[in-house]
Chains A and B, each alone.
Chain A
Amino acid sequence: MIGVYGFLLIAVPVAVVAAAIAVGVAWVRSYLRDG
């Protein structure tokens, strides 16, 4: 039984990385387009 904290210890870092990558993709696209 991992409980709420156990779940968050995996889910939150995965969500943070996903958000960072999403922003990274959006930024690279706009950077390549506009400089």
Chain B
Amino acid sequence: MRAIDWVFVCLYFAVLVVIGVRAVRRIRSSDDFAVAGGRLGWPILFATVAASFLGGGAAMGNAGNVLKDGYVFMFAFFAFGLQTVLVGQFMVHKLRRYEGAHTVGDVMEVHYGKGARLISGLLSLGLCAGILGGQILAVGTLLTTMLDISLFVGILIGMGVVLLYSTFGGMWAVVQTDVVQFLVLGILVPVALVLGVVKVGGPAEIVERVPADHLTLLGGWTVVAFVGTFITFLLGETMTPPFAQRAFAASDPRAARRGYVVSGFFSLAFYFVTGSIGLVALILYPKIATDQALPTVMANLLPVGATGLALAALLAVIQSTASSYLNSTAIVFVKDIYVPFIRPHASDRHRLLVQRLSTLAVGVAAVAFASTAPSIIDAFLLAFNLWAPTVVLPLVVAVVWGLRSSSAGLAAMVGGGLGGAIWTWGLGEPYGVSGIVFGVVVNAVVYFVTYAVAPRGPRLVHHDDVKLATEGALK
């Protein structure tokens, strides 16, 4: 790295620190720390949702897989964006009715009781900790590769500032820095693609020089493989904790809907950009490892200070996701475990303190595990496979149609979780059907059968019903 590269990287870190420090003075309550006081307008929501969910998978992962398999991977990946649009259009504005809610567990308790809150809280914790650990490993590997330093030092550099602003500034700091990170990745990554297209000789050259099946809908995949991957991407991360948390942080239902829908469409465009960078890499650097496609194109094609700019953009991609999951892990712990089951009458001041301490503790533990025992992160990531088969359908039908039944909710969570786990780890995903898809089917069947035969409460349809039930459950 040359001096100019360091200037860009230091400037990026300095902006994060300044914004993080300024955000601290806005944190006066646990509500501010968890959902930014519920005051986010749609453009900020759009940026924070996009930055949080355009992580290493959407950037480095998508570019590398398109290099290997062609646009078919990107078409399957479009399921993430489609899911964001659908959830935005039909669901997030209704989440805003649960006043005082910060987590998925808050909503689950209103519809399915305390047991459902505990299960979704534990799964949320595992999921968030696993994804956080994955991002920490990614940031460490990135800095190790680009700066030739040890993994531990790379992780400390990459995560130190994230830990600092997330601990003291909570959701306010995470959202504001998300916007900066959104700007860095939203400008530099597409610019790298345009420069790559020019370097290859224009768009027609790319279309001509990549293998023909790299541009078709299915490429070399079978229909079953494509549909299975598409459904897995569609359901796998639906309404994960940071996703739901941002809906609770919206200033009003319209802002929530617009922010998510626009973010979903933006994601589709971003996947096209990173996927196409994979094609540029295939032509210009055919021998590189797939996961190096995006870093190589960015570091070689961006102008003066290229390495520094590329590093800042890639750090922005990873850090924005890491900070969102770090913040969510702490919020879920306090809201779904600590307050309901350990200290029910904690004052707001006490909750804020525990939120900050949990953020610090989770961050330090995740850094330690990622540096010394990455297999622990793999264990946490098992929760990712169980999220869709347990939580997603009961949550969606609760929020969209107002269904309430503790028996149906609990039976579906247990049945779907067991079904997904046995299919994945017991049977090894036979017939090429993923455990997530099988688990979701079991989850749906168990839910509706139990709902039909077991006792159930009145549906929560009107705003006032939801408000009253939420006050009762979250008092």
A14 to B204, CA, bound (A): 17
CB-CB contacts of A1-22 with B at 8 A, as 1s and 0s? 1110111111011111101111
Question: Nearest Cβ in chain A — how far from B438, in angstroms?
Answer: 35
Q: Which residues of A contact B43 (CB under 8 A)?
A: 22-23, 26-27
CB of B47 within 8 Å of the partner chain: yes
A9 to B186, CA, bound (A): 15
The answer to whether B203 and A6 touch across the interface, beta carbons within 8 angstroms, is: yes
A17 to B273, CA, bound (A): 11
Q: Which listed residue (A10, A13, A20) contacts B183, Cβ 8 A?
A: A20
Report if A23-B190 is in contact (Cβ < 8 Å); known contacts: A5-B215, A9-B203.
no
Residue on A nearest B19 in the bound complex, by CB: A31
Q: Which residues of A contact B276 (CB under 8 A)?
A: 9, 12
CB-CB contacts of B18-36 with A at 8 A, as 1s and 0s? 0000100010000000000
The answer to whether B191 and A17 touch across the interface, beta carbons within 8 angstroms, is: yes
Question: Nearest Cβ in chain B — how far from A31, in angstroms?
Answer: 7
Q: Which residues of B contact A2 (CB under 8 A)?
A: 202-204, 207
A6 to B202, CA, bound (A): 8
Q: Which residues of B contact A19 (CB under 8 A)?
A: 186, 266, 269
Q: Is the interface of B mostly helix, strand, loop or mixed?
A: helix
CB of B156 within 8 Å of the partner chain: no
Q: Which listed residue (A9, A22, A24) contacts B197, Cβ 8 A?
A: A9
The answer to whether A12 and B179 touch across the interface, beta carbons within 8 angstroms, is: no
A17 to B194, CA, bound (A): 11
Q: Which residues of B contact A26 (CB under 8 A)?
A: 43-44
Interface residues of B in 165-208 (CB under 8 A from A): 176, 179, 182-183, 186-187, 189-191, 193-194, 197, 202-204, 206-207
CB of B78 within 8 Å of the partner chain: no
A24 to B206, CA, bound (A): 31
The answer to whether B187 and A21 touch across the interface, beta carbons within 8 angstroms, is: yes
The answer to whether A7 and B203 touch across the interface, beta carbons within 8 angstroms, is: yes
Q: Which residues of A contact B183 (CB under 8 A)?
A: 20-21, 23-24, 27
Question: Nearest Cβ in chain A — how far from B25, in angstroms?
Answer: 8
Q: Which listed residue (A1, A7, A17) contacts B190, Cβ 8 A?
A: A17
The answer to whether A17 and B269 touch across the interface, beta carbons within 8 angstroms, is: no
The answer to whether A15 and B269 touch across the interface, beta carbons within 8 angstroms, is: yes
The answer to whether B206 and A20 touch across the interface, beta carbons within 8 angstroms, is: no
Residue on A nearest B23 in the bound complex, by CB: A35
Q: Which residues of A contact B46 (CB under 8 A)?
A: 23
A35 to B173, CA, bound (A): 12
Residue on B nearest A5 in the bound complex, by CB: B207
CB of B270 within 8 Å of the partner chain: yes
A35 to B276, CA, bound (A): 38
A8 to B275, CA, bound (A): 12
Question: Nearest Cβ in chain B — how far from A29, in angstroms?
Answer: 10
A2 to B46, CA, bound (A): 32
Which of A1, A13, A22, A31 is the most central at the interface, judged by chain B CB atoms within 10 Å of its CB? A13
The answer to whether B190 and A13 touch across the interface, beta carbons within 8 angstroms, is: yes
A14 to B82, CA, bound (A): 21
Q: Which residues of B contact A31 (CB under 8 A)?
A: 176
Q: Which residues of B contact A16 (CB under 8 A)?
A: 186, 189-190, 266, 269-270, 273
CB of B253 within 8 Å of the partner chain: no
Q: Which residues of A contact B44 (CB under 8 A)?
A: 26-27, 30
CB-CB contacts of B262-302 with A at 8 A, as 1s and 0s? 00001001101100100000000000000000000000000
The answer to whether B273 and A3 touch across the interface, beta carbons within 8 angstroms, is: no
The answer to whether A10 and B273 touch across the interface, beta carbons within 8 angstroms, is: no
Of all A-B residue pairs in the complex, the 7 with the closest CB atoms, nearest first, are A20-B186, A13-B190, A6-B203, A9-B203, A26-B43, A16-B190, A2-B204
Q: Which residues of B contact A (CB under 8 A)?
A: 22, 26, 41, 43-44, 46-47, 176, 179, 182-183, 186-187, 189-191, 193-194, 197, 202-204, 206-207, 215, 266, 269-270, 272-273, 276
6 contacts between A and B (CB under 8 A): A2-B207, A6-B202, A9-B276, A16-B189, A17-B190, A19-B269
4 additional A-B pairs beyond A23-B46, A27-B183, beta carbons within 8 Å, are A3-B204, A5-B206, A26-B43, A31-B176
Q: Which residues of A contact B (CB under 8 A)?
A: 1-3, 5-10, 12-17, 19-24, 26-27, 30-31, 35
